[in-house]
Amino acid sequence: MTTRRTLLGALATAPVLATLPAAAQDGPFPNRPIRILLAFAPGGGTDLIARTVATAMQGVLGQPVVVENRPGAGGNIATEAAATSRPDGYTVLMGNHGPMSVNVSLFRNMRIDPERALEPIGLVADAPLVVVVGPKSRAQNLQELLAEIRAGNGQTTYGSASNGSASHLAAALMLQMAGLQAEHVPFRGAGPALTDVVAGHLHFMITTLPSVVGLINGGQVRPIAVTGETRIAVLPEVPTVAEAGVPGYKATAWYGLLVPRGTPEPVRARLFAAMREALANPDVIRRLRDEGAEPSNLDGEGFARLIRWERERWAQVIRQANITVD
């Protein structure tokens, strides 16, 4: 039989328990599997990056870290799912520049503002893209491609993975900074766009390294520049866009970990420590660099500044190029 004293004790502690953070009620973090939501389909370069980091973090945290693919709506599906999850550290988003910094300028009816709904843990990696040309273009370097575009008077064609994709925005930025115009041809994915570059239907494309490395190695396309601040290890002879003809240019695909806003600080700190230790693993570093990505140790505050800066500059590019999504 429940005594009056026991009942009063239970009633007294109930409000205290109700006010404790979710992580505190669950016990020491982590004590069960963690899932990383990813806005891309299995098998691609981003998926490989996420799974490589997740496996390494699993060894640090002592709990399974499972990647869950939620592609669709330009990354908004995975982003919204993460933002509306319980803020306890057990649901993490592998966010990238699209849904975090670009989509707010592309989609009119986004149900959440990712910058407000999510808290950055840290930047995982920064991945430059590659400017490639096919037989439609005779350019052997970026200066020759820019001259070809200038002579084309807006008729030079370039492909992208889709309207508003990283490949589209990177090319739009390059053209704006060079004071040039070209005709954009969007596709449903990088693969079909590159097929038309190889076939000679398009002059050039800016795309991710994993999507094009096989064509580069097979001599079907020529890499003439990379879009980051420095050259990449797998293409050491290929200059950056900035050093090859467009000073100050930079456009990269970046990936970082975020959690729902309200996640306790000790939990965020634990996740960042695990991420940092994972990215110090030589095997992880090698795998990321093989994908053209450079590991990062940028913390939550630095990552938040990057998101905000990218959001502002891509908004300007999108307005100037009048980019819309279908």
Domains of the chain, residue spans: 33-127+253-321, 128-244
User: Alpha-carbon distance 323 to 319, whole Å?
Assistant: 7
Q: What is the CATH number of domain 128-244?
A: 3.40.190.10
91-96 and 252-260 beta bridge pairing: antiparallel
pLDDT above 50: residue 15: no
Identify the pLDDT of residue 1. 41
User: Alpha-carbon distance 307 to 198, whole Å?
Assistant: 34
Looking at residue 72, the DSSP 8-state letter turns out to be: -
Vertex 220: Cα angle to 214 and 224 (nearest 5): 90
Question: 18 falls in which pLDDT band (50, 70, 90)?
Answer: very low
pTM: 0.82
- The more confident residue out of 290 and 156 is 156
210-252 confidence digits (pLDDT tens): 888 889 999 999 999 999 999 988 899 999 999 998 999 999 9
Identify the pLDDT of residue 198. 93
The yes-or-no answer to whether 33-127+253-321 and 128-244 have a common fold is yes
Question: 301 falls in which pLDDT band (50, 70, 90)?
Answer: very high
Sequence-ordered strand ranges (E) for the chain? 34-38, 65-69, 91-96, 118-133, 157-160, 183-186, 204-208, 222-226, 252-260, 294-295
95-126 confidence digits (pLDDT tens): 988 889 988 888 877 788 888 999 999 999 98
User: Alpha-carbon distance 239 to 54, whole Å?
Assistant: 32
- C-alpha count within 13 angstroms, C-beta hemisphere, residue 288: 27
- Give the Å distances, CA to CA, from 42 to 38, 47, 148, 194: 9, 6, 37, 20
260: β partners: 118
User: Alpha-carbon distance 15 to 11, whole Å?
Assistant: 8
Q: What is the average per-residue pLDDT within 272-280? A: 96
Question: 13 falls in which pLDDT band (50, 70, 90)?
Answer: very low
How many Cβ atoms are within 10 Å of 54's Cβ, its own excluded?
21
Identify the pLDDT of residue 326. 55
pLDDT above 80: residue 128: yes
Q: Are 227 and 130 in contact, with CB atoms under 8 Å apart?
A: yes
Sequence-ordered strand ranges (E) for 33-90? 34-38, 65-69
* 179: its two tokens: 């004071």
Identify the pLDDT of residue 6. 41
Q: Which CATH architecture has domain 33-127+253-321?
A: 3-Layer(aba) Sandwich (3.40)
Question: 26 falls in which pLDDT band (50, 70, 90)?
Answer: low
